[in-house]
Amino acid sequence: MTCLKWHDKRDIFMLSTCHNHEMQLSGGFRPIMKPKMVLTYNNGKKGIDLADQLASYNSPVRKTCIWYKKIAADILSIGVVNAIILHNELNPTKKFRLLAGHEYIIKKILTIGALAVPATGPSISNGFIA
């Protein structure tokens, strides 16, 4: 088990069973020596931060909303973002932007429960109740 304390902008404490104290140059504008454990964590965190950022653009959560509704809205929003990302990966010719993807999914959800109302002909009546 490796225990690490690293200070870049603030103190970071990490525990790992698969890393040692090995240092590595970080990529970027000004590369500096960082523990490999920190670089691995940062590379894994990129996708999560991007998903959170994309989900926050069209967030339906308001300050006055009850906490369990906020959680439900967040889970739904994260699911929608993940669905759009998967769709764009699997269909490179027909990519959705985030807002267009939200609109498409909402329209599909609304049409699932829609029942077709049978068209009826005009009512023929003489105006009297029999």
Q: Domain residue spans in the chain?
A: 1-46, 58-113
What pLDDT is recorded for position 58?
64
What pLDDT is recorded for position 6?
83
Residue whose tokens read 């005009």: 122
Report strand pairing: 2-7 vs 11-16: antiparallel
What pLDDT is recorded for position 128?
62
Of 29 and 119, the structure prediction assigns the larger pLDDT to 29
Min mean pLDDT across 51-55, 74-78, 103-107 is at 51-55
Of 71, 130, 83, 125, which Cα lies nearest the Cα of 108? Answer: 83
CA 96/CA 85 separation, integer angstroms: 9
93, 76 Cβ separation under 8 angstroms? no
Q: How many residues does the chain have?
A: 130
In which element (H, E) is residue 39 found?
helix 36-57
Chain mean pLDDT for the chain: 78
Confidence of residue 106 (pLDDT cuts 50, 70, 90): confident
What pLDDT is recorded for position 103?
84
pLDDT at 127 over 70: no
CA 76/CA 105 separation, integer angstroms: 11
Residues of the chain with pLDDT > 70: what percent?
74
12-65 pLDDT per residue, tens: 888 888 888 888 888 778 888 888 888 888 777 776 667 777 766 666 666 667
CA 110/CA 64 separation, integer angstroms: 26
Of 46, 31, 1, 44, which Cα lies nearest the Cα of 23? Answer: 31
